[in-house]
Structure 1
Amino acid sequence: MNEPAKEPRPGTGPVAYVPRKITGPVLMGVVPGQPLAVAHRAAELAYSLDVKLICAYVDVTTYLAEEPDGRIEARPIDPDGIDDDIEGIAAAIRERLQDALDGTGIDWSFATLSGEPARALGRLAESTDASVIVVGTRERGLGARLEEVLVGSVAVHLTHRQHRPVLVVPLAPHTRHPRQEGHH
């Protein structure tokens, strides 16, 4: 037996795994005030894979409802609730991403989704055939508890609800949004 031990013989054993090129976009979940580190990691991944980057903001104050004519529409959970300027929030996030990503050569887009974040991101990942979903960890500190109640751990929910890989970008506990400085 002078045959090399590691070389498989043709026609024997199971078919070898052949990796396929990743072509689906990178889908990034965005939350207001999120450090740009998450966008930077997602952009680097999209750039490295040579795929599109989809940045999605999930508006947790709305839910999806089917109209009698079959159209799906976003409706406010509490129409008389806090009059948050959701369109303004989404526009501000889009503008911040534009400043960070325009001119980088990355093909990116922005979407505003409704409902529970993990489900909304999962649906978009499915419809766009995303290759990976990128999310940031929650920051500790101001507003973290409220965010936790609203959002839960999106990364954990995503890993239980769909089959795509989820990349969690850790945010350092000391990282603070500039507006939060001085408020302990």
Structure 2
Amino acid sequence: MSDSTPAEPDEAAQNAALQGAVIVGLQPGQPAHVLSEALRYAKLLGAPLVVVHVDVTRFVTYEDPDGYVHSAPIDLNIDAGAAEFEEVQKMATASLEKEGIVWTARQLVGDPALAIKQLANKIDAQLIVVGTRKRGLGESIREFFTGSVAARLAHRQHRPVLVIPQGEEVPDEQKDIWTE
């Protein structure tokens, strides 16, 4: 079962159906084992799975009392977030359609850690699963300024956070982790 971001009146009903879910944050190009591990834990916990993509090119303008979030783009000429969400949905559908698990896809906007935390609160999630970033100088600089989503989630809410490595192990004898 897949849906996209719910319409205003449907959100409360869908959130009620997703109580106790496992949330997995995904970005296009992320290794498939991030989703596989989230699926494994959702099955172990007997919980639905919520595949989340956070559009960082948009920001929250206001939130209605019923929880519906209104957003606006940072750049009016860019709609990259919609294309990324579509790619994440396709990846999730290909991986999950035959798994026999209740799942849905949601697109959130704004700061990834805060957006995922808010959704986790709304559905009383049991677990949040995120992947690590790719190694590289550019990624380490970005993380220096924005912070690690996993670390920010771990320090700003009470749910367990499972961090899945990229899969590219750095040998113990290698002194420099980022070789760019």
TM-score between the two structures when normalised by the length of structure 2: 0.75
Shift of 1:147: 5.4
* 1:133 maps onto 2:115 in alignment: no
Match of 1:96 in 2: 91
Match of 1:123 in 2: 118
Query: Could you tell me how far apart the structure 1 residues matched to 2:108 and 2:122 are?
Result: 13
Query: Could you tell me how far apart the structure 2 residues matched to 1:93 and 1:151 are?
Result: 22
Residue pairs, 1:1-184, within 5 angstroms: 24-66=20-62, 72-80=69-77, 83-141=78-136, 144-145=139-140, 148=143, 152-173=147-168
Find the residue that maps to 2:106 and give its secondary structure: strand
Query: Could you tell me how far apart the structure 2 residues matched to 1:127 and 1:64 are?
Result: 16
Query: Could you tell me how far apart the structure 2 residues matched to 1:67 and 1:121 are?
Result: 15
TM-score between the two structures when normalised by the length of structure 1: 0.73
Match of 2:7 in 1: none
Query: Residue 60 of structure 1 aligns to which amino acid in structure 2?
Result: V
Shift of 1:45: 0.4
- Residue ranges of structure 2 left out of the alignment (5+ in a row): 1-18, 170-179
Shift of 1:143: 5.8
Find the residue that maps to 2:70 and give its secondary structure: strand
From the CA coordinates, give the structure whose radius of gyration is larger: 1
Change in CA separation of 1:162 and 1:68 when aligned onto 2, cut-off 3 Å: closer
Query: Could you tell me how far apart the structure 1 residues matched to 2:48 and 2:145 are?
Result: 29
Shift of 1:86: 2.0
Change in CA separation of 1:150 and 1:34 when aligned onto 2, cut-off 3 Å: farther
- Residue ranges of structure 1 left out of the alignment (5+ in a row): 1-22, 175-183
Query: Residue 31 of structure 1 aligns to which amino acid in structure 2?
Result: Q
Change in CA separation of 1:92 and 1:43 when aligned onto 2, cut-off 3 Å: same
State the aligned residue count: 152
Query: Residue 154 of structure 1 aligns to which amino acid in structure 2?
Result: V
Query: Residue 37 of structure 1 aligns to which amino acid in structure 2?
Result: H
More helix by share: 2
Q: CA RMSD in A?
A: 2.7
Query: Could you tell me how far apart the structure 2 residues matched to 1:67 and 1:130 are?
Result: 20
Change in CA separation of 1:126 and 1:67 when aligned onto 2, cut-off 3 Å: closer
